[in-house]
Structure formats: structure tokens, C-alpha cells
């Protein structure tokens, strides 16, 4: 079991550094891309699209009414969850744009993307409730997530498979905190735990125990849970299954 102790000064400094990185992670994770390891850059022009900040493979596919698999195949993407800003992607089959004689234009309304974003992300990530117990309502009145009330020491599970990006107690107001990255755009946050049982960098599966419920930095025993998309909090009820 991983103990949340700050036994030495170097370790404490390392935890503080990790906490600072987690703050940045909460605010900006997946807001911009990184090198993808794809094939050579394609020329711009008809049938191509230049990746913008905040784009994901799914959002680009939606803009051009294409499937994710089409975009992956046309661009030989080795990691479809890892595209970068200013990367040029083919968004029409070869010859289609030339036949039309014009540059392909994406759908311009952001409302369409917003309406389908939660649905697409939910389809790409298999979600489950992170703990049993009575839960508060979703976002509103300054809240960024939901509270799930339970018993001291009750298991807290990963809501979906992913990689532990932060495990510690260095962020004020969150207590013993775990942050899990699920893909290039989604992460989940688990706060106020009594004990954390996973390490940073560890891969976890959906339903795997990651902590025990507690009240660190809280007046009541509860799990505070967030889902963030492109670094911004979203309503967990749109992603979690009904119960």
C-alpha cells in the first residue's frame, strides 16, 4: 500500500513539484497536442486540414463528417490520441478534393461539436461510478464536480481505465488526491481520500481500487469527483451510467 508520507526534504520537494504540475494538468491537460509519430507531413490545400489548439481526432472527424478510422488510415497515424497543433491531416479521400476543385470546409457551428462531444467521449471511454453512496447534483453554483458520500475507508475505484498522472496531497483543498488520464482529452479527479493505493505512472483498469474514502481537507467523509475534458470540468452525469 502506498503511504502518503513526506518522510524527507528531497521527497517533499519532489511532491510539491508534482503538485504544481498537477495544477497545470488540471487546467491545461490535452488542450494542445504533442508529436504523434505519424507519417510525413502532408501538403496543405484541398482535402487537408491544419490541426488547431483543442482539436482531437474525434472533433476533426465530426467537422468533416468522416469516421475516426478514415482519418487514421489516410494519415497513417500510429497514435490517434496524440496529434499536434499545426499538424496537417488529410480529411478527404485522395482525389475527392481535386474533383470538387475547392478546399474542404468544416462545419462552422461550435454548438454541434459541443452537443456531440460528451456522446463521443462517452463512447470512447467506458465509464463506471467511482464509489457507491448518495451523490450530489452536477455542476452549478461554483461546483466543478460531484460529491459522493460514504463510509470512512470505503473503496474508491477508477471510473475508467487510464494512467495515474498524480497521486498525493500537495494541492490545497483536495486532500489526498488522485488524477487519472484516460485519453488525449479526458481525465478524472478523486479528492479527499483517506489513503491512496496507486502510484504516479501506474496504469489502472476500470473498477480498480485506487484509494479509500476519507475526509482529508473536508468536513465530511466523501469522494469529490470531477471529469475534465480539454482541462475544463464537465458534468459527470453526462458520462457516468445511470444508477
Alpha carbons 214 and 209: distance in angstroms, whole number: 14
pLDDT tens-digit map of 79-130: 767 788 888 888 887 665 544 444 455 554 444 454 455 555 555 899 999 9
At CA 124, angle to CA 122 and CA 127, rounded to 5?
Answer: 50
Map residue 116 onto helix, strand or coil. helix
How does residue 22 score in pLDDT terms, banded at 50, 70 and 90?
low
Q: What is the pLDDT of residue 99?
A: 45
At CA 182, angle to CA 177 and CA 187, rounded to 5?
Answer: 45
DSSP letters spanning 145-175: SEEEE--TT-EEE-SSSEEEEEEES-STTT-
Residue with cell 490520441: 81
Q: Is the pLDDT of residue 136 over 70?
A: yes
Alpha carbons 195 and 155: distance in angstroms, whole number: 10
Domains by residue range for the chain, with CATH? 9-30+126-238 (2.70.70.10), 48-108 (3.10.350.10)
pLDDT tens-digit map of 174-201: 999 999 999 988 999 999 999 999 999 9
Q: Is the pLDDT of residue 144 over 70?
A: yes
- Per the confidence metrics, is the pTM higher than 0.85? no
Amino acid at each position: 500500500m502506498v503511504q502518503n508520507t513526506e518522510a524527507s526534504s528531497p521527497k517533499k520537494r519532489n511532491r510539491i513539484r508534482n503538485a504544481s504540475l498537477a495544477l497545470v494538468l488540471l487546467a491545461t491537460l490535452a488542450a494542445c497536442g504533442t508529436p504523434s509519430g505519424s507519417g510525413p507531413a502532408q501538403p496543405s490545400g484541398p482535402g487537408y486540414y491544419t490541426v488547431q489548439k483543442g482539436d482531437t481526432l474525434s472533433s476533426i472527424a465530426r467537422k468533416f463528417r468522416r469516421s475516426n478510422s478514415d482519418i487514421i488510415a489516410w494519415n497513417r497515424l500510429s497514435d490517434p490520441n496524440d496529434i499536434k497543433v499545426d499538424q496537417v491531416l488529410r480529411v478527404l479521400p485522395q482525389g475527392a478534393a481535386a474533383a470538387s476543385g475547392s478546399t474542404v470546409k468544416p462545419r462552422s457551428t461550435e454548438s454541434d461539436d459541443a452537443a456531440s462531444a460528451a456522446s463521443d467521449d462517452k463512447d470512447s471511454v467506458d465509464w463506471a461510478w467511482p464509489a457507491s453512496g448518495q451523490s450530489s447534483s452536477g455542476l452549478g453554483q461554483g461546483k466543478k464536480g460531484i460529491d459522493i458520500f460514504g463510509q470512512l475507508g470505503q473503496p474508491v475505484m477508477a471510473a475508467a481505465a487510464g494512467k495515474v498522472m498524480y497521486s498525493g496531497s500537495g494541492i490545497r483543498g483536495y486532500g489526498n488526491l488522485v488524477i487519472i488520464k484516460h485519453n488525449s482529452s479526458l481525465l478524472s479527479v478523486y479528492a479527499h481520500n483517506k489513503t491512496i493505493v496507486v502510484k504516479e505512472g501506474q496504469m489502472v483498469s476500470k473498477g480498480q481500487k485506487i484509494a479509500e474514502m476519507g475526509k482529508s481537507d473536508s468536513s465530511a467523509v466523501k469522494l469529490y469527483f470531477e471529469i475534465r475534458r480539454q482541462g475544463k470540468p464537465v458534468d459527470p452525469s453526462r458520462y457516468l451510467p445511470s444508477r
